[in-house]
Amino acid sequence: EEAQAIPFLKRFTVFNTDQCDDLPAEIATTAPPAPPGLIEPKVEYLIKATGIDFRIGGNRAFYVPAEDYVQVPPPQAYFEPINWHRTTLHELAHASGHESRLNRDLSGSYGCKKYAFEELIAEISSAFSCASLGIVPTVRHADYI
């Protein structure tokens, strides 16, 4: 008789290395930050690719669903330029919920469940976008989520 392969599940216990102390150096590695000037073109390309009305100005970052535009302060307003990218990606994630895109319920106001859920979506989206663009994650992502 011929041997047959029989698929089966295995169970593994895994840990987030950020939550472990005293790991050997070869295990506890962190990704180096992207070289300066490498991230900016990628973020600019992403902004243009979305087709979203993107405005720079003012002193707050926000998305206006009724008028479908994102506004963020200029990069110089941030202590670290990388935070401008993180904020921009967060606001673009809100804009992805517009009725002409993913059609999420954006009617929630500050303090209600709908608002909290939308913030969760935007922050998770921002964290994934940052990771895919080589932007080093911040504790803010985890705390916010």
Q: What's the pLDDT at 15?
A: 84
Residue 1: predicted pLDDT:
74
Task: State the pLDDT at residue 32.
Answer: 72
What span, in angstroms and rounded, lies between the C-alpha atoms of 90 and 98?
A: 14
Task: Kindly report, residue by residue over 41-50, the tens digit of the pLDDT.
Answer: 999 999 999 9
- 118, HSE (Cβ side, Cα atoms, 13 Å): 25
Q: What is the DSSP string of 68-103?
A: TEEEE--GGGSSSHHHHHHHHHHHHHHHTTSTTTT-
pLDDT exceeds cutoff 70 at 12: yes
Whole-model pTM?
A: 0.76
What is the reported pLDDT for 55? 98
| Domains recognised in the chain with CATH numbers | 35-144 (1.10.10)
Q: How many whole angstroms separate alpha carbon 42 and alpha carbon 52?
A: 16
Reported residue count of the chain is 145
CA atoms within 13 A on the CB side of 126: 28
Average pLDDT over residues 89-116: 95
The confidence score (pLDDT) of residue 94 equals: 98
Strands of the sheet containing 53-56, edge to edge, are 53-56, 69-72, 62-64
